[in-house]
């Protein structure tokens, strides 16, 4: 992704690795390219399932990384921002956030941080 290859498949773990390489920056190489590569998947209804699976894997693995909660939230929001704003997608993302939260019950700190970040993202997005 970082070298602008047209990837046919990448996983949430690759996004976490890109974030690790950039020390938490979403604007630097290769994280910037990962976000750009994620955007078409998130925007396409046909690819939405794949995008949600990648985002879920990213969120779960990111919760185990030694980044500050604010850094994790910025990265999470950067990917969430790639989804459309239609009501059906908003509903999908609400259900998705609940499922991710449930998957993180053994990591209550990560769970709380993610759910707080998701709610903050929703509030910010509604005001736009």
3-state secondary structure of 5: coil
Determine, yes or no, domain membership for 6: no
DSSP 50-114: HHHHHHHHHHHHHTTS---HHHHHHHHHHHHTTS--SHHHHHHHHHHHHHHHHHTTT-HHHHHHH
Determine, yes or no, domain membership for 4: no
Mean pLDDT estimate for the chain:
92
Angle at 83 between CA 81 and CA 120, to 5 degrees: 45
pLDDT of residue 68: 97
pLDDT of residue 119: 97
Determine, yes or no, domain membership for 5: no
DSSP 44: -
Determine, yes or no, domain membership for 3: no
**What is the Cα–Cα distance from 121 to 6, expressed in whole angstroms?**
29
User: Which residue range forms the structural domain that includes residue 27?
Assistant: 12-127
pLDDT of residue 3: 61
**What is the Cα–Cα distance from 64 to 114, expressed in whole angstroms?**
12
Output the six-digit token pair for 16.
Answer: 């976490």
Determine, yes or no, domain membership for 44: yes
pLDDT of residue 96: 97
Tally of structural domains, the chain? 1
Segment 46-95, tens digit of pLDDT: 899 999 999 999 999 999 999 999 999 999 999 999 999 999 999 999 99
pLDDT of residue 6: 59
Q: Kindly report the pTM of this predicted structure.
A: 0.91
CB 25 within 8 A of CB 74: no
Determine, yes or no, domain membership for 81: yes
Determine, yes or no, domain membership for 103: yes
pLDDT of residue 4: 62
Determine, yes or no, domain membership for 2: no
């Amino acid at each position: 992704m970082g070298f602008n290859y047209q990837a046919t498949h990448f996983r949430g773990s690759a996004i976490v690795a890109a974030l690790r390489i950039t020390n938490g920056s979403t604007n630097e190489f290769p994280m910037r390219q990962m976000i750009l590569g994620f955007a078409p998947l998130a925007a396409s209804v046909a690819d939405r399932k794949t995008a949600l699976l990648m985002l879920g894997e990213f969120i779960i693995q990111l919760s185990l990384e030694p980044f500050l909660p604010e850094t994790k939230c910025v990265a999470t929001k950067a990917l969430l921002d790639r989804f459309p704003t239609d009501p059906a997608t908003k509903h999908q993302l609400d259900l998705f956030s609940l499922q991710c939260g449930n998957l993180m019950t053994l990591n209550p700190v990560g769970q709380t941080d993610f759910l707080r970040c998701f709610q903050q993202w929703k509030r910010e997005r509604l005001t736009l």
